[in-house]
């Protein structure tokens, strides 16, 4: 992994992941998809899944990528998730 890549999201929802990837490709944003094993005692955080998909993007494309992520997650998104995305954006901007 290159130093200027940042984590965009972690998900176990394949429909949302596929929609996000499609939109990233259509917008010309390069991405890296990495699968990580979830430790047994943390699986409750990921609805019992054994693996989680982590999507990374280039730091220089983060603003557009985060706006696409918000659109994809916008439908049934819980406010807590939106706050986490905002906090991550604020951390990256500083």
Model pLDDT, residue 28: 92
Q: Which residue from 3, 89, 7 is spatially nearest to 53, judged by alpha carbons?
A: 7
Name which residue leads in pLDDT, 88 or 27: 27
- This prediction has a pTM of 0.71
The pair of structure tokens assigned to 83 is 């706050």
Model pLDDT, residue 49: 87
CATH number of the structural domain spanning residue 39: 3.30.70
Model pLDDT, residue 1: 55
Confidence band for 92, pLDDT divided at 50, 70 and 90: low
What residues contact residue 46 under an 8 Å CB cut-off, 6+ apart? Answer: 10, 12, 38, 52
Number of domains in the chain: 1
| Side-chain-side CA neighbours of residue 83 (13 Å) | 3
Rounded to the nearest 5 degrees, what angle is found at the Cα of 5, between the Cα atoms of 36 and 60?
A: 145
Confidence band for 48, pLDDT divided at 50, 70 and 90: confident
Model pLDDT, residue 45: 82
Q: What is the mean pLDDT of residues 17-40?
A: 92
Domain containing residue 88 = 5-93
| Side-chain-side CA neighbours of residue 64 (13 Å) | 14
């Amino acid at each position: 992994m290159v130093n200027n890549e940042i984590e965009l999201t972690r998900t176990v929802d394949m429909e949302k992941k596929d929609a996000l990837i499609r939109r990233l490709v259509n917008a010309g944003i390069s991405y890296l998809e990495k699968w990580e094993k979830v430790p047994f005692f943390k699986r409750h955080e990921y609805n019992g899944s054994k693996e989680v998909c982590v999507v990374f993007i280039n730091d220089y494309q983060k603003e557009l990528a985060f706006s696409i992520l918000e659109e994809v997650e916008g439908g049934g998104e819980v406010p807590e998730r939106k706050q986490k995305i905002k906090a991550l954006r604020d951390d990256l901007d500083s």
